[in-house]
Chain A
C-alpha cells in the first residue's frame, strides 16, 4: 500500500507534529522588562522599593565587580517594605534604614542616597570609612591649615605666590573655589586648586591659572618639575582633564578604559572605551621634567582620574596616600544608560521620593586594576600629620621636594 499525504495517517501525523510545534513555540519566558525607575507610581513603600531595586539592576554600573548579593536584598527587604503601609515619620525612618542597609556594601564610592522628604542622605563609602576610622575626615590638616599658612609662606618662593578664592557652581551647589600657584626652589611649578571647576575660574582664581599656564608654556624647557596638589580635592568637571593635563603633552595618550551599561540586565555592558588625554586645543607643551601629583584619602573622583592620567606618563609620579576610591566617571543621567536616577512618582513632587547618586561608568586603569571602592595607590607613600604641621612641615610636599631633588 502506498502512503501519501492524502492518507489519514499521514494527515494525523502532520497535524500531531504541527500541534507539538505550536505548543513548544509558546514556551518562552514572558518578556516583561521593568519600566524606567521613574515610571513606577511610587506612592507607597512597596512600589518605591520595587522601583529602587529595579533601578539598581539597570543603572548601577559596578555589578560586574561588586559582590553585593542584590537578589538576596530583594528577598530580605521586600517583606519588610511590604509591612510599611502608611507614610509617616516612623515608617519613613524605617524605610531609610532599610535602604541604607541594602546599599552599605556597594563599592561605588560616589554612591549616595538622598531622601527628598526628610533631606537625609546615606553614603555607603562614608559609612564604611567612618566605621573603620572615626577620625577619617578630621585627622588631616590639609588643605585649610597647610594651604592658608604653611605652603604659601614656607614652601613657595616669596614673590611667586598667586592665590585667590571664588564661588563656583558645582553640581548646582555654590561652592568655594580656591587656587594657589607659585614656584618651589625657583624652578618647580606648583599648583593647588580645591576642585575641578577650572572653566568657572573668576576674578580671583583666573589669575592663578593664567600665571601657572603662562609660566608652563614660557619656561617649560627650564623647569625642573611640576607639582599638582590634589589633596582634599573633591573632584568636578571632566572637561578639566584636557585643560590641565592636556597642556603638558603634545600627543594623545590612553591612561585607562571606561565602560557603561547598555542593557537592562546587570551584566549588560558596552565594550571598554579608551580613556584619553588629548593635547589642549588652546595649545600645549611637551613637559619632559617630572610631573608630581599629590593626593590623599580625600582626593575624590576627577582628582583620582587626574592622578591616574599623570601616573601613566613616564615622567609622572603620584605621592601621598591611597585616594578615596570614587573613580567611575559620573555625569548627568541624560548621557548614558546607567548612572543617577530618581524614584518616586508625581505624588512626591518634582524631586521624587529618592535621588540615587551613582557613577555613569566603570573605570579600569591601564594595568587592568579597578580602584573603585579601594582608591588609587601612591607610587611614593607620604602622609601629612597634625604634629608635623605644628612643627612647620608638610610631609607630603617634603617627599615631593625630595623626589625632585630640591
Chain B
C-alpha cells in the first residue's frame, strides 16, 4: 500500500511541476474490458481447470510529453482481475468464479510514431497494484447436505447427485497468512491515437499486465504460485492541461 501511495504522490508531483513549467502535460479518462487469467500449477487437482474471465477497468491517465515520440504516463486505475475454477467430468456443475478488484498504478513510457494527427504507439512499463476486494460465486458439493433420495445407493453419476449443491455468492475474506495483496508487474501496450484540434487525443490501446509477484505470501515450501495475466482494451481521451488552463485564463 505504501508503494501505491508513493506512486500516487509521484504522479501528483509530476502534475504540479508540469503545471508550473506549463509543459506538455496531458490528463484524461479511459476505460475498457479485459480478460484475466490466473496462471498456476494444479497438476494434482484432477478434473479441474482454471479459466479466464472477463472484467473491466477504468483509469485516469496523466502524462507528460518530452518529445513528440516519447511520453511518460501514469494511470491510476480501478481494475478487475477475475478468474474461474471449473470442475469437469464427475464434478461437472462445481465451479467458483473469483471476482477480484485492484487499485492499480501503471507507470509507462510511451513511444509514438506516425503522422501528425494519426499516430501509433507502444507502451512499456511496470505497475503496482493493491488487491482491494474479492467476491466468490460458485457451487460446491455439500458433504453435510446429502441427497436423501440417494440413500443406500452406491453409484451416483455425479458428485452433485450424491451431495446437494451449495450455491454461494459472498465477499471474500482475506487471509493475512495467505493472501499477498500487493502486486507488482510489467505492462505493455500497443495502440493508435488521433489528435483533434491539437488539444484532444483519442486512443485505443491493447494492453497486457503481467504480474511478477505471487498472489499468495510465501507461506509454505513447494508452494504453487499464482499469477494474474490480464489482457485489456482501453478506449480513452486525453487533453493538454495548458489548453484547459488557457481557457480558464480567458
Contact = CB atoms under 8 A, between A and B. Distances in A.
Contacts of B223: 265
Contact of B111 (A5, A31, A239, A275): A5
A58 B44 contact: yes
B250 to A, nearest CB: 30
Contacts of A271: 136, 138, 140, 168, 170
Interface in A5-26: 5, 10, 13-14, 17-18, 21, 24-25
B246 interface: no
A275 B144 contact: yes
Interface residues of B, number: 61
The 4 closest A-B pairs by CB, nearest first: A33-B41, A275-B144, A33-B224, A273-B166
Contacts of A25: 186, 210, 212
A153 interface: no
Interface string B90-116: 100000100000000000010111000
Contact of A21 (B150, B177, B188, B216): B188
B40 interface: yes
B151 interface: yes
Given A239-B146, A265-B224, A335-B141, A18 B212 contact: no
Interface stretch (A204-212, A254-262, A372-380, A388-396): A254-262
Interface string B190-232: 0000000000000000000010101010011111110100000
Interface stretch (B2-10, B23-31, B62-70, B237-245): B62-70
A334 interface: yes
Which one of A263, A274, A305 has the greatest number of beta carbons of chain B within 10 Å?
A263
A263 B42 contact: yes
Nearest to A20: B124
Contact of A34 (B48, B163, B222): B222
A335 B162 contact: yes
B159 interface: yes
Contacts of A2: 68
A54 interface: yes
A270 B178 CA distance: 14
A154 to B, nearest CB: 35
A311 to B, nearest CB: 15
A199 interface: yes
A197 to B, nearest CB: 10
A131 interface: no
Interface stretch (A276-284, A290-298, A398-406): A276-284
B42 A33 contact: yes
A85 B175 CA distance: 41
Given A33-B44, A271-B136, A4 B227 contact: no
Interface string B136-180: 101011111110111110000001001100101010000101100
Contacts of B234: none
A5 B69 contact: yes
Contact of B124 (A17, A243, A361): A17
Contact of B113 (A5, A13, A337): A5
Contacts of A37: 44
B44 A238 contact: no
Given A29-B225, A33-B42, A71-B220, A278 B124 contact: no
Nearest to A309: B144
A280 B148 CA distance: 7
B142 A264 contact: no
A99 interface: no
Given A5-B112, A36-B46, A278-B148, A329 B85 contact: no
Interface in A53-73: 54, 57-58, 70-71
Contacts of B214: 29
B148 A24 contact: no
B152 A239 contact: yes
Contact of A28 (B44, B125, B225): B225
12 contacts: A10-B69, A31-B39, A31-B225, A36-B44, A54-B222, A74-B221, A199-B151, A241-B144, A256-B144, A263-B45, A271-B136, A273-B168
B212 A24 contact: yes
Contacts of A305: 144
A366 interface: no
A109 interface: no
Given A25-B212, A28-B212, A274-B145, 9 more contacts: A25-B186, A32-B41, A33-B42, A238-B143, A239-B152, A260-B140, A266-B219, A271-B136, A281-B149
B126 interface: yes
Which one of B39, B138, B220 has the greatest number of beta carbons of chain A within 10 Å?
B220
A9 B234 CA distance: 29
B143 A31 contact: no
A71 B90 CA distance: 33
Contacts of B96: 262, 270
A360 interface: yes
B143 A360 contact: yes
A341 B12 CA distance: 56
Given A274-B166, A331-B143, A71 B40 contact: no
Given A265-B220, A273-B168, A335-B141, A14 B41 contact: no
Contact of B41 (A239, A264, A267): A264
A134 interface: no
Interface in A296-311: 305
Contact of B221 (A71, A260, A335): A71
Given A242-B148, A305-B144, A24 B44 contact: no
